[in-house]
Amino acid sequence: MEKVLNSFQIKLIAIITMVIDHAGMIFFPRIIVFRIIGRIAFPLFAFFIAEGFRHTRSVKKYLFRLLLCAVLFQVPDWLFGSETMRRIFISWGWESVPSINYELNIFATLFLGLAAISLYNKLKEKHIAYSWLAVTAMAVIAQIIGADYGAYGVLFIIVFYIAERNTIRILIGWIILHTMYAAYEVFSSYMASSVIAFPHSIQLYSLLSIGVIALYNGERGRKMKYFFYLFYPLHMVVLYVIDYIITVKG
């Protein structure tokens, strides 16, 4: 298979599928195809966290950038997602205020995923068990604080780091991760309601992302690093404003 996509092009695919996902969440919540397409986005971002770790000149600066983005870009979510603001917007006539199903945005997950890689890399020389304890700790923290994708997101990032661009290894890691994820959700569902369910089974469509990653040629392409950082909060604000205009002014 010819590898024809560089880093810039794959990141464009990631943000396009992310916009489709979020537009579907806000404007077309009952049309599942938008959310299915959106499952491609996060694995691509997770993949480039692993790639970024390998190529960054300073892991500390990389961690700081992600943490700063996690804090600053949380503002739009708090503004539109907090219960107090939702009541205010509803009082203004915005009846279908978009709901947010996580407490902290995707950059919190990416930060914890990068931290997990860094700790794994440092501790594996001492003992592999220490490495996995550190990874588990980062995953548990992501789950507890309500970071988007939670523990699943952190572990997905680790899969890409360990697989080292090898498509077969990525596929094996994907199967193991999603088997664990399904088992966890089924067990949790049964314990909570005595019903066997896999609430986030839509995540299985993330398998589509492996086809995109398989085309990665290892080249950087155009340099627009800060564009990709800023795109996340800007596109969310634009979607919220459009929804407001349609709902209140339409």
The domain spans of the chain are: 7-249
121-149 burial code (b ≥16 CB/10 A, e <16): eebeeeeeeebbebbeebbebbbeeebbb
3 state DSSP class of 147: strand
In degrees, to the nearest 5, what angle opens at C-alpha 155 toward C-alphas 178 and 138? Answer: 145
| pLDDT at residue number 99 | 58
Q: How far apart are CA 206 and CA 232, in angstroms?
A: 19
Most confident of 39-48, 222-231, 234-243: 39-48
Residue 19 pLDDT > 80, yes or no?
yes
SS in 3 state form for 162-229?
A: HHCCCHHHHHHHHHHHHHHHHHHHHHHHHHHHCCCCCCCHHHHHHHHHHHHHCCECCCCCCCCHHHHH
Confidence band of 14 (pLDDT split at 50, 70, 90): very high
| pLDDT at residue number 198 | 94
Average pLDDT over residues 21-38: 95
| pLDDT at residue number 89 | 58
Helix or strand (DSSP H, E) at 99: none
> Higher confidence at residue 84 or residue 233?
233
Q: Is the pTM of the predicted complex or chain greater than 0.95?
A: no
> Higher confidence at residue 229 or residue 113?
113
Residue 227 contacts residue 13 (beta carbons within 8 Å): no
Confidence band of 92 (pLDDT split at 50, 70, 90): low
Residue 209 pLDDT > 60, yes or no?
yes
> Higher confidence at residue 214 or residue 246?
214
| pLDDT at residue number 74 | 85
Range scoring the smallest mean pLDDT among 50-59, 156-165, 220-229: 220-229
Average pLDDT over residues 190-194: 90
| pLDDT at residue number 135 | 98
Most confident of 85-89, 96-100, 243-247: 243-247
Q: What is the pLDDT of residues 117-162, one digit of tens each?
A: 999 999 998 999 999 999 999 999 999 999 999 999 999 999 999 9
